[in-house]
C-alpha cells in the first residue's frame, strides 16, 4: 500500500522546462522531452509530466477533462456524474504506448465536455466556476477518480516515472502545441503517485514547480476558505488554486498575483517610491494568506501565455532564453542550449520578478 | 585530450578525464554535465559550451576555462587554482571557497561568494565583471570579492542584501553610488590607495584574461565593505 502525504517523509530537486512560441507556431512534444531529459539527474523517477497548449484545435470550444481512474467502479461513478452535468461530445482512452519504465498504469480517459445548459443555468454560476466546482467535487468525493486536466484546448499528461519516459508513454510527438511546460520530479517529503505528479491544472491554468513551499498549510487553509479542496496531496496544488483564486476570481493581473505570492520583503518595499510602496503594501495586507515562502521556481501555463516566477529569495535556479519568436525557460541553461544553441538572449530573472510571455497581438489559436 | 561531450552522462565524461594522463583537456559541446574538474589538480581544462552545476568543486589547482556560461555552485569549496568564465555564472558562485581564484567576465547570480573563508596563505578571490545578484558575500568569512560594474554606468553593481552575515574578508564594488541595505555588522567606505593595492593584481589578471582595458575598469569610485571588527557578531543571528 502506497503511503501518501503526511504518512511518510522522503527527504530529497526537481527540474522544469518550458517552450513558448509568441507567433503561435505549433511544435510537437519532441523538443520539450529532449530539454527535460538533459536534466535527468534532477529527477528521481517518482513523477513527471507535461502541459501542452493549443493541442485540441478541433475541440477548442470544449473543456478537455483528463481523468485517472483506479477502478472501473470509479470510472462508472465519475461518468455518471459527468453525464448529469455535462454534454460529452467525445470520449476515449488517452493514447499511450507500453513503456518498460512506466508501470502501475491507471485507467486514463479523456472527455470533451460542455456544461449542460439547464444545469449551468440552475447553478447560477458562471461557466468556469461551474466547471471548476465539478472538478473539485469529483476529486473530493469520487474515490479513485482524479480529474487532472480540465482546460480548453490544452492538456496535462503526467505519470510516475522519469519525464522523458512519460513523454514517450503519452506519445507527445503526436501533439502540436504553441506552449509546452514540463516537470521532472524529485519528491521532497512525499512519495510519488500519479495524481501527485506535475503539472497541476485547474481550468486552463497549469503549474509546474521546482521547490518545496514552507507556507503550504497557511496557503491550504486560505484557499480552502474560498471553496478549493486540496485533494492531490502536494504543495504545488495549492499554488495552482492560489493563481486561480487571485487571477480568475479576484481579477488581479498576473504581475499583481506574482507580487502577492512572491512579495518583496517589507524592508525592500519601504525603500520604494510611494505609489509602488502602497500597491505592494495593499497586496501583502489584502492577500497575506497567499504569500508563498520557501524555495520555488514555477512555470504557470495559461490560455495564450506562460509565466515564469522564482521565490523572492531565489532559492531555486531558473534561466530564460529567447530566440526570434521563441521563449525558453528551464532550471538549467544547458536544457535550453540543447534545443536552441544559438540564443539571442539568455538571463536569470531576479527572485520574485515575473517573466510573462504571451502570444503576439492578432495571433489566433 | 579532446572530448565531445554532447549528451554524455556526467560520470562517463568525468571518468574519461580522470583516466587520462593528459594535462590539457578540451571539452566541446558541453551540455550541463555536472562536477567537471571536481577535486582535480594540475590540469588545464577548457570547456566549450555550458558546463553543469558544481563545476570545479573542491578544485585543487590548475586552470578551468569556460567559453560559455557556467551554471550554479561553481567552485564550491574550491581550494586552489583558477577558473575563468568567458560569460556569466549562476547562483552560489564560489560557494564556501577556501582558496584559489574565480574570474567571471559577465555577471554572477544570487549568493555569489557565500561563506567564503580564509586561513593563513589560503585567501580565495572572486572577481565579477558586470554585476552580482542579491546576497553577495552572504556569511562571508574571508577572502576578496570584487565586482567591477562593467556596463552599469556607475550604478551599484549588486542587488539587495549584500554582505548579510559577513564577518570576515572584503567586498569591493566599483560604483558611483554608495552601497545601501547593508547590515549593521559591516562598514563601507570609499576605497583608498592601500585598499586598491590589495586588488590591483586581480584586476590585472581580469583584464589580461578577458582582453579588457584596465582604465575602463578602474575609473570612477570603488567602495570597500568590511566587517565592523568592534562588534562583528552583533545581531548576526538574533536581535541581541
Q: Inter-chain contact A333–B69, Cβ cutoff 8 Å?
A: yes
Is the CB of residue A284 less than 8 Å away from at least one CB of chain B? Answer: no
Average pLDDT over residues A276-285: 98
C-beta of residue B146 within 8 angstroms of C-beta of residue B162: no
Per-residue pLDDT, A45:
83
**What does the alpha-carbon distance between residue A260 and residue B148 come to, in Å, rounded to a whole number?**
34
Q: What confidence score (pLDDT) does residue A41 get?
A: 87
pLDDT surpasses 60 at A7? no
In which band, very low, low, confident or very high, does the pLDDT at B238 lie, cut at 50, 70 and 90? confident
Asked if residue A339 lies in contact with residue A31, where contact means CB atoms within 8 angstroms, the answer is yes
Nearest chain B Cα to A339, which residue?
Answer: B31
Q: List chain B domain ranges.
A: 1-87, 94-186+211-240
What is the overall mean pLDDT for chain A? 93
Share of chain A above pLDDT 70, in %: 94
pLDDT category of residue B234 using cuts at 50, 70 and 90: low
B214 membership: H or E segment, kind and range? helix B214-218
* DSSP H/E element including A93: strand A86-93
A13: Cα separation from own chain's centroid:
17
Would you call B32 and A350 a contact, using CB atoms and an 8 Å cutoff? no
Task: Choose between B236 and B125: higher pLDDT.
Answer: B125
- Chain A closest-CA separation from residue B185 CA (Å): 17
CA nearest neighbour of B160 among A317, A268, A353, A354: A268
Measure in Å the smallest separation between the Cα of B7 and chain A Cα atoms: 7
Cell of A264: 518583496
Residue B237: pLDDT over 80: no
| Length reported for chain A | 365
B115 phi, psi to nearest 5 deg = 55, 40
Q: What are phi and psi of B126, to 5 degrees?
A: -130, 120
- Is the pLDDT at B240 greater than 60? The verdict is no
Is A182 known to be catalytic? no
Contact A156, A226 (CB under 8 A): no
All structural domains of chain A, each given as residue ranges with its CATH number in brackets, are 15-215+295-358 (3.60.20.10)
Tens digits of residue pLDDT in A290-307? 999 999 999 999 999 999
pLDDT, position A10: 47
- Inter-chain contact B71–A335, Cβ cutoff 8 Å? no
A333–B71: do the CB atoms touch at under 8 Å?
yes
Condensed to tens digits (0 to 9), the pLDDT of residues B141-165 reads 999 999 999 999 999 999 999 999 9
CA distance A17 to A33: 9
What pLDDT does A9 receive? 47
Residue-wise pLDDT tens digits, B85-103: 999 999 999 999 999 999 9
Q: Is A38 on the interface with B (CB under 8 A)?
A: yes
Q: What is the pLDDT of residue A231?
A: 75
User: Nearest CB to B32: which of A265, A335, A351?
Assistant: A335
Q: What is the CATH number of domain B94-186+211-240?
A: 2.160.20.60
Q: Which of A268-282, B37-51, B222-236 has the lowest mean pLDDT?
A: B222-236
Nearest to B50 among A313, A314, A333 (CB): A333
Look at residue A345 and tell me whether its pLDDT is greater than 90: yes
pLDDT digits (tens, 9 = 90+) for A52-90: 999 999 999 999 999 999 999 999 999 999 999 999 999
For the stretch A308-341, pLDDT in tens is: 999 999 999 999 999 999 999 999 999 999 999 9
Least confident of A133-142, A190-199, A249-258: A190-199
Q: CB-CB: which of B32, B72, B160 is closest to A39?
A: B32
Residues of A in Cβ contact (< 8 Å) with B90: 317, 319, 333, 348
Counting one residue from chain A and one from chain B, the pairs whose CB atoms sit within 8 A come to 62
- B115 conformational bin, left if phi > 0, alpha if psi -120 to 50, beta if neither: left
pLDDT tens per residue across span B152-209: 999 999 999 999 999 999 999 999 999 988 998 899 999 999 999 999 999 999 999 9
In whole angstroms, give the CA distance from residue A196 to residue A337. Answer: 29
| Contacting residues for B126 by C-beta, under 8 A, at least 6 apart | B75, B93, B94, B97, B101, B102, B104, B108, B112, B113, B116, B143, B144, B145, B146
Q: Are A35 and A336 in contact (CB under 8 A)?
A: yes
* Cell numbers found for residue A228: 478549493
Best CA proximity match to B168, nearest among B236, B74, B92, B72:
B236
Nearest to A334 among B52, B109, B181 (CB): B52
Cα distances (Å, whole numbers) of residue A249 to A212, A223, A277: 25, 12, 24
Tell whether B179 is within 8 A of chain A (Cβ).
no
Q: Cβ–Cβ of A41/B10 closer than 8 Å?
A: yes
For residue A357, give every residue at least 6 positions away whose Cβ sits within 8 Å of its Cβ, in sequence order, or none.
Answer: A20, A22, A305, A306, A307, A327
**Helix, strand, coil % over all residues of chain B, rounded to 5:** 15, 30, 55
Q: What is the largest CA-CA distance in chain A?
A: 60
**What pLDDT sits at residue A11?**
42
Are residues A317 and B10, on separate chains, in Cβ contact within 8 Å? no
Average pLDDT over residues A256-283: 96
Which residue in chain B is spatially nearest to A314 when comparing CA positions? B110
pLDDT computed for residue A191 by the predictor: 64
**pTM of the entire predicted model:** 0.93
Amino acid at each position: 500500500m502506497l503511503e501518501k502525504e503526511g504518512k511518510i517523509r522522503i527527504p530529497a530537486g526537481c527540474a522544469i522546462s518550458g517552450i513558448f512560441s509568441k507567433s503561435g507556431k505549433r511544435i510537437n512534444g519532441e523538443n520539450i522531452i529532449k530539454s527535460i531529459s538533459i536534466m535527468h539527474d534532477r529527477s528521481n523517477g517518482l513523477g513527471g509530466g507535461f502541459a501542452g497548449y493549443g493541442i485540441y484545435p478541433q475541440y477548442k470550444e470544449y473543456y478537455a477533462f483528463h481523468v485517472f481512474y483506479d477502478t472501473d467502479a470509479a470510472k462508472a461513478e465519475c461518468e455518471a456524474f459527468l453525464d448529469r452535468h455535462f454534454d460529452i461530445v467525445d470520449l476515449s482512452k488517452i493514447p499511450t504506448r507500453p513503456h518498460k519504465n512506466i508501470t502501475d498504469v491507471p485507467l486514463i480517459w479523456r472527455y470533451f465536455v460542455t456544461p449542460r445548459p439547464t444545469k449551468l443555468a440552475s447553478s447560477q454560476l458562471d461557466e468556469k466556476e461551474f466547471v471548476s466546482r465539478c472538478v473539485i467535487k469529483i476529486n473530493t468525493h469520487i474515490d479513485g477518480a482524479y480529474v487532472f486536466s480540465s482546460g480548453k484546448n490544452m492538456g496535462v499528461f503526467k505519470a510516475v516515472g522519469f519525464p522523458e519516459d512519460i513523454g514517450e508513454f503519452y506519445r507527445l510527438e503526436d501533439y502540436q502545441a504553441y506552449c509546452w511546460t514540463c516537470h521532472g520530479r524529485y519528491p521532497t517529503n512525499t512519495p510519488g503517485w500519479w495524481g501527485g505528479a506535475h503539472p497541476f491544472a485547474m481550468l486552463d491554468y497549469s503549474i509546474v514547480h521546482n521547490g518545496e513551499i514552507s507556507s503550504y498549510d497557511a496557503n491550504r487553509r486560505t484557499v480552502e476558505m474560498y471553496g478549493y479542496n486540496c485533494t492531490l496531496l502536494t504543495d504545488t496544488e495549492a499554488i495552482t488554486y492560489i493563481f486561480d483564486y487571485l487571477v480568475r476570481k479576484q481579477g488581479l493581473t498576473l504581475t499583481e498575483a506574482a507580487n502577492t505570492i512572491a512579495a518583496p520583503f517589507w524592508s525592500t518595499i519601504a525603500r520604494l517610491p510611494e505609489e509602488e510602496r502602497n500597491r505592494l503594501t495593499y497586496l501583502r495586507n489584502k492577500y497575506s494568506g497567499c504569500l508563498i515562502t520557501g524555495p520555488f521556481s514555477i512555470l504557470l501555463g495559461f490560455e495564450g501565455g506562460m509565466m515564469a516566477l522564482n521565490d523572492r529569495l531565489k532559492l531555486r535556479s531558473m534561466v530564460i532564453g529567447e530566440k526570434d519568436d521563441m521563449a525558453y525557460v528551464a532550471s538549467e541553461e544547458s536544457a535550453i542550449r540543447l534545443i536552441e544553441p544559438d540564443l539571442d538572449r539568455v538571463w536569470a530573472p531576479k527572485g520574485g520578478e515575473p517573466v510573462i510571455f504571451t502570444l503576439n497581438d492578432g495571433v489566433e489559436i | 585530450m579532446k572530448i565531445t561531450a554532447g549528451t554524455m552522462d556526467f560520470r562517463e565524461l568525468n571518468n574519461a578525464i580522470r583516466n587520462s594522463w593528459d594535462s590539457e583537456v578540451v571539452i566541446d559541446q558541453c551540455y550541463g554535465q555536472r562536477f567537471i574538474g571536481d577535486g582535480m589538480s594540475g590540469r588545464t581544462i577548457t570547456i566549450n559550451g555550458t558546463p553543469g552545476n558544481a563545476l570545479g568543486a573542491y578544485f585543487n589547482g590548475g586552470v578551468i576555462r569556460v567559453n560559455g556560461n557556467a551554471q550554479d555552485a561553481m567552485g564550491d569549496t574550491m581550494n586552489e587554482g583558477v577558473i575563468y568564465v568567458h560569460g556569466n555564472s549562476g547562483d552560489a558562485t564560489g560557494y564556501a571557497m577556501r582558496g584559489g581564484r574565480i574570474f567571471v567576465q559577465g555577471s554572477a547570480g544570487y549568493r555569489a561568494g557565500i561563506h567564503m573563508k580564509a586561513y593563513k596563505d589560503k585567501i580565495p578571490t572572486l572577481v565579477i565583471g558586470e554585476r552580482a545578484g542579491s546576497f553577495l558575500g552572504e556569511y562571508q568569512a574571508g577572502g576578496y570579492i570584487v565586482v567591477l560594474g562593467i556596463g552599469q554606468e556607475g550604478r551599484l553593481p549588486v542587488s539587495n542584501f549584500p554582505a548579510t552575515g559577513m564577518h570576515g574578508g572584503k567586498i569591493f564594488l566599483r560604483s558611483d553610488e554608495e552601497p545601501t541595505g547593508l547590515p549593521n555588522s559591516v562598514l563601507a567606505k570609499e576605497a583608498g590607495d592601500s585598499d586598491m593595492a590589495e586588488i590591483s593584481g586581480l584586476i590585472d589578471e581580469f583584464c589580461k584574461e578577458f582582453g579588457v582595458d584596465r582604465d575602463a575598469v578602474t575609473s570612477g569610485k570603488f567602495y570597500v565593505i568590511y566587517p565592523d571588527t568592534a562588534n562583528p557578531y552583533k545581531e548576526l543571528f538574533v536581535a541581541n
